[in-house]
Amino acid sequence: MKIARVVGTVVSTIHAEILDHRKLLLCDTLDPEGEPDGGYLIAVDVVGAGAGETVLLLDEGTSARQIVDEPSGPLRTVVVGIVDEIDLAER
Amino acid sequence: MQLGRVVGTVVASVKADGLEGVRLLIVQPLDRQQQPRGTPMVAADAVAMAGPGELVHYVSAREAAQALRETFVPVDQAIVGIVDAVEEVSS
């Protein structure tokens, strides 16, 4: 899974069926220190994450479809958690 | 999923089995600010509505193969939605 920050939403009325009634969040992927690492992903939200929140992204299709309870479909990235805290061991 | 812009179409009359009737579009991958990033690639149009110049979101790898009606069509990139708006929030 990846750590990311919600930086916006994507509005798409014409889309693949599996995305029906799903909120699409624009997320910057972060390094463990919480800094953007240059990447981003559009993820389906299932936990009600809001703008600016640090979240946990699942980026694998089989598990993603299991979460939304769909046997098949082009879904891969899902917001599966809202991060409260990250503690890094001193290096 | 990530953002892309349709920049062209590809016609290939001789194709591998399973690719019949699949509409192939040239998509320029975009970064989060919708600036071109990386080289254009060819994606299957799973929503069959995307035209040149349109902002789309696409999925890669195995999920692309699940974007079309008959699942597991042999494609590695597929457009899964047309983007109406990207609302960014400054966190």
Nearest CA in chain A to B50: A14
Q: From the list B3, B61, B84, which residue is nearest A11 (CB)?
A: B84
Query: Helix/strand/coil (H, E, C) string of A26-89?
Result: EEEEECCCCCEEEEEEEEEECCCCCCCCEEEEEECHHHHHHHCCCCCCCCCEEEEEECCCCCCC
- The per-residue pLDDT for range A18-33, each reduced to its tens digit, is 999 999 999 999 998 9
Contacts of A16-19 with C-beta under 8 Å, sequence gap 24+, read: A16/A73, A16/A74, A16/B46, A16/B47, A16/B67, A16/B80, A16/B81, A17/A73, A18/A65, A18/A68, A18/A70, A18/A73, A18/A74, A18/A75, A19/A44, A19/A75, A19/B80, A19/B81
How far apart, in whole angstroms, are the C-alpha atoms of residue B27 and residue B53? 9
Kindly list the domain boundaries of chain B, sorted by start residue. 2-12+19-82
Considering the entire predicted model, what is its pTM? 0.91
Residues B50-77 have a mean pLDDT of 89
Indicate the CATH number of A2-82 among 2.40.420.20, 3.20.20.140, 2.40.50.220, 1.20.140.10: 2.40.50.220
Cα–Cα distance for residue pair B14/B19, rounded to 1 Å:
9
pLDDT tens, residue by residue, A33-64? 999 999 999 999 999 999 999 999 999 999 99
User: d(Cα A76, Cα A12) in Å, to the nearest integer?
Assistant: 17
pLDDT of residue B17: 86
Contact A28 B49 (CB under 8 A): no
* Per-residue confidence (pLDDT) for residue B71, from 0 to 100: 63
How many Å apart are CA B38 and CA B57, to the nearest integer? 15
Mutate to test the interface with A, among B22, B32, B33, B75 (most CBs of A within 10 A): B32
CATH homologous superfamily, domain B2-12+19-82: EutN/Ccml (2.40.50.220)
ipTM tops the 0.90 cut: no
